[in-house]
Structure 1
Amino acid sequence: HRIGRTGRAGRTGDAILFATPREKGMLRAIERATRQPIEEMQLPSVDAVNDTRITKFMSRISDALDAGGTEFYRDLLQRLEGEKNVPAIDIAAALAKLLQGDAPFLLTPPVRGAREERAPHQRNDRNDRGERPARFEPRFERGPRREDDRGPRPPRPEGDFGNSDGGFERAPRRDIAPRGAPEAGMETFRIEVGHVHGVKPGNIVGAIANEAGLESRFIGRIDIHDDFSVLDLPAEMPSDLLSHLKKVWVSGQQLQMRKVEPGEDLTPSARPPFKPKFGQGKPRGPGGPRSGPGGNDRPPRRDGFKPRGPRNF
């Protein structure tokens, strides 16, 4: 955005873009799209920055002397020099300090450790650091594994994958802390989307924040159950806004948001265990007749076959 404003309305200037090493590929893509090279700048040293600051400071003083109009200030400094018996050079230094303020005029070189500054794209010789040991050395020698070394496998409990009636038990439901009264200024609402729909808290927060124009920090606790969720929102929300949120879609489901009444039971209802249907009825022998729709035991048509008359096109 700022780079685009550099040359706007006939103005000229240099645009500086900061990029991390992982964004080098993006820079190459920009170069191909704009057909313009992006040159890498060399950061100025601390000494170069300090020299530039000194040059600009002295240039400002020279411009002020050339502009004139310093007679009044000259009289004040001469009076101060006589009263305090202070050289004029010290008074000028004090004025420069007042102009600069508490900020340091010159930069201080950073303290570097054992690693010295080196030019870009310059790498030290790896041989100076000695040979690097092998990265993948075996920590121990493992002999061939024998089947006799393992003891017998303990019997699997019956309730792990099945029960006595051939069904499968559901995984234990994740315990959700009992929901107490909402915070002051908040109300509890129910929406018809839950774990079975693949919803995440971020999906709910993003949808409500975008549709209601509500900042995410005003959205309270969110409890996601199997097929519904409960969350806290600011109290006394406009009715037209609630009507709009009812029609919002999240994870393929309409929210159908409604206010939770005091004392309403929010405990998820228990579901019966899932029983797969592996085939019902008697097995059919190879090549045997099928029963039911499409089989050979259908009753004959009452009126028999009637030839269709000629068609007119």
Structure 2
Amino acid sequence: MDDNPPAGFAGLSLRAELLRALTDLGYEEPTPIQQEAIPPLLAGNDLVGQAATGTGKTAAFALPLLQRLAAGQRDAGPMSLVLVPTRELAEQVSQAVHRYGRDLDVRVLPVYGGQPIGRQLQALQRGVDVVVGTPGRVLDHIERGTLRLGGVRTVVLDEADEMLDMGFAEDIEAILAETPEDRQTVLFSATMPPRIDSIARRHLRAPIRIAMGRKAVAPGELPLVRQSAYIVARAHRPAALGRILDVELPSAAIVFCRTREEVDQVTETLNGRGYRAESLHGGMSQDQRDRVMGRLRGGNTELLVATDVAARGLDVEQLTHVINFNVPAAPEAYVHRIGRVGRAGREGCAITLAGPREQRMLKAIERLTGQRITLEKLPTVTDLRAKRLEVTRTALQTSLETDDLERFRVVLDSLTDEFDIENIALAAVKLLHEAAGGDVDEDEIPSPVAPREDRKPQNRAPHQNRSRSSNSGVTRLFFGIGTRAGLRPQDLVGAIAGESGLSAREIGAIQITDRFSLVEVPEDAADMVITAMQRSTIRGRRPTVRRERFHR
């Protein structure tokens, strides 16, 4: 008897249909999270996994649930439920489950807001095996009676920390209450704050715990994600970003900004510098977002400039750089962002632009990740000129090594009678260099002024206490639904966060009356929220949503 287990996925005791699908997809070896998670999940254990985006966690939970699905009799209702924070991630996970289970004729349905609910109702009536959905829309179907979870054998909470940040905690509790107590429960999260651990203690039974840190780096080797930061004053940040990109020359990158206006301004600046940049934010329709992502994946766009909310759930395999135009407000957001690069053994780069007062925020990120963020000196005009000359030299070298140059000899021969061949070569280099942008003609970016130690920051009022008159950046929205419909504040927070992409912490004061409710949201996101909510339901109803009207 051979004591050596089969190599690769075959050693994980997966069904032949799943192994065949993985082979056809080009998968050769399981990733560390797959190697660690699949055996206990196949054995029926509950599991808590800490793993960032890009580690292969979708296959880690999808393959076991497909194996369990194939072994049993299929009912009309789903046998597996996967909860995710965003519609983009719902689509991605649904597509992955379909690809892995194609030889098993798996019936998988993505369920999320912004999609016609009639199509989802028809699919649910025909019968599905796996539902992948956002908590708000899943709960909506449960309350309508169109989704019954009594036959569910496996529940997966994917990117659990993101779902809690978006205000879905009570929705998740309500959904889990509809599933059998003896179900298998799987929780994946990039970070493990105490509230995630609290959910695991309440809803998982003796779970196996797996924490996948980044791969250890041998002495002398580069890490998979090179993390660096530049200290630069806010006024000079757009110019600094352009200069960093000129030196880094990413083939595909995401630049994260805080607001929709900032996204549009940075995109315009980068396009003016000659880059092919595209905006991605919550004010765009799903069709617009899909077109932007198609151009990025197709190589027609170099830079995607996005807000955190708009980029949630995006998975772009060819990304080389993630750039934070500002230091993320929460260290956990930094972890999610940099998880998008440094995959499949390729080196990635995470760059952060920080103000003089934000260095302590970088320290908080270092404490969370256990990794150092190197403070770099901003490239000077001389550095940039040297880089552009190096690009010209590389282009010439590539042409000399690979191109058929013989057809240009007639031009060379016609010039050598009159000019020295070295001068001819220099003139050709000059023309190529100028065609690629030429020398840099811009001012140096001044070093930021260090903050005075004796200057104390101003106290700020809590978010919930800001009034409309004192904060012109906040507006109130009218929702034509109130306590008569059983409405709770968490219903509004979950619906707005799930359907519009606005984070829970961006939603302000909520006032609920008998027949209507008022909700504070950022002024620049108001139209986006109204558009998203007009296509959605709350507590099984589609209420009127508009800006609050004032009568004098």
Higher relative contact order (CA 8 A, sep 6+): 2
Q: Which has the higher strand share?
A: 2
**Is TM > 0.5 for Structure 1 vs Structure 2?**
no
TM-score with structure 1 setting the length: 0.36
Q: Which has the higher helix share?
A: 2
